[in-house]
């Protein structure tokens, strides 16, 4: 996250969290969890206020949430009743440690040039056969939204190119659909499902 994006989540994190229904997890989460074995170990990068981690934990998974924003990590810590570490994508050093890595609307804050390196870290952190999910906003070049947050804004083919550069994936697919973003802005989303 660049400074302006980080400042948004530090100063307006509670507002961002309040804009989502209190006990509603990401709509794609259950389908992803259904692909995993019982008690699978899941790393969440960019956990926000912890709602997805809360749902994963309730389903019996071994969840390791983290966020790059101290303010958001604090919100998640209060929600989950345990300390959530502050970790930037580039600080991920795990090797073959997780069965899954969940990145709902988080990696899209990284510049396109940084994505292959970050994705290589995710690939390395997964055990053989491990699953990965991420979502990205469509567009043609990086830029800021009306709230000053940076997004990579990538077409689906460049999202795929970053993954192909990061490492060998046994399975990889991108699906696209329309939705919204904070503030209600119409948004085209690209969702990645990959297996190491």
Q: Band of the pLDDT at 22, cuts 50, 70, 90?
A: low
111-150 pLDDT, tens digit per residue, is 999 999 999 999 999 999 999 999 999 999 999 999 999 9
Q: Band of the pLDDT at 23, cuts 50, 70, 90?
A: low
Closest CA to 134 of 186, 91, 169: 169
28-37 pLDDT, tens digit per residue, is 999 999 999 9
Better-scored residue on pLDDT, 131 or 17: 131
Percentage of the chain lying above the pLDDT 90 cut: 90
89-112 pLDDT, tens digit per residue, is 999 999 999 999 999 999 999 999
**Structural domain spans, the chain:** 3-195
Cα 12 to Cα 1: distance, rounded to the nearest angstrom: 15
Cα 124 to Cα 55: distance, rounded to the nearest angstrom: 25
Closest CA to 89 of 47, 112, 122: 122
SS3 content of the chain, % helix, strand, coil (to 5): 35, 30, 35
Average pLDDT of the segment spanning 10-20: 88
CB 64 within 8 A of CB 41: yes
Q: What are phi and psi of 19, to 5 degrees?
A: -75, -10
pTM above 0.85, yes or no: yes
What is residue 120's predicted lDDT score, i.e. its pLDDT? 98
Q: Residue 48: pLDDT above 80?
A: yes
Superfamily of domain 3-195: Vaccinia Virus protein VP39 (3.40.50.150)
Average pLDDT of the segment spanning 5-10: 94
Average pLDDT of the segment spanning 2-25: 87
Percentage of the chain lying above the pLDDT 70 cut: 98
Give the helix ranges, DSSP H, for the chain.
Answer: 3-18, 29-33, 51-58, 70-80, 115-125, 156-166
Cβ contacts of residue 163 below 8 Å, gap of 6+?
Answer: 119, 169, 172, 192, 194
């Amino acid at each position: 996250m660049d400074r302006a994006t980080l400042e948004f989540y530090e100063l307006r994190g509670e507002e961002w969290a309040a804009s989502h229904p209190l006990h509603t997890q990401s709509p794609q989460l259950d389908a992803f969890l259904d692909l995993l074995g019982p008690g699978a170990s899941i790393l969440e990068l960019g956990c926000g206020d912890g709602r997805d981690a809360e749902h994963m934990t309730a389903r019996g998974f071994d969840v390791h949430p983290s966020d790059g924003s101290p303010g958001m990590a604090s919100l998640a810590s209060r929600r989950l009743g345990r300390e959530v570490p502050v970790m930037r994508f580039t600080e991920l050093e795990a090797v073959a440690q997780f069965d899954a890595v969940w990145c709902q609307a988080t990696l899209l804050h990284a510049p396109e040039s940084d994505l292959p390196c970050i994705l290589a870290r995710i690939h390395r952190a997964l055990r053989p056969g491990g699953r990965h999910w991420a979502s990205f906003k469509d567009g043609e070049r990086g830029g800021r939204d009306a709230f000053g947050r940076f997004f990579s804004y990538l077409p689906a083919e460049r999202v795929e190119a970053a993954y192909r550069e990061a490492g060998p994936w046994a399975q990889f697919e991108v699906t696209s659909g329309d939705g919204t973003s904070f503030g209600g802005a119409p948004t085209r989303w690209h969702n990645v499902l990959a297996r190491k």
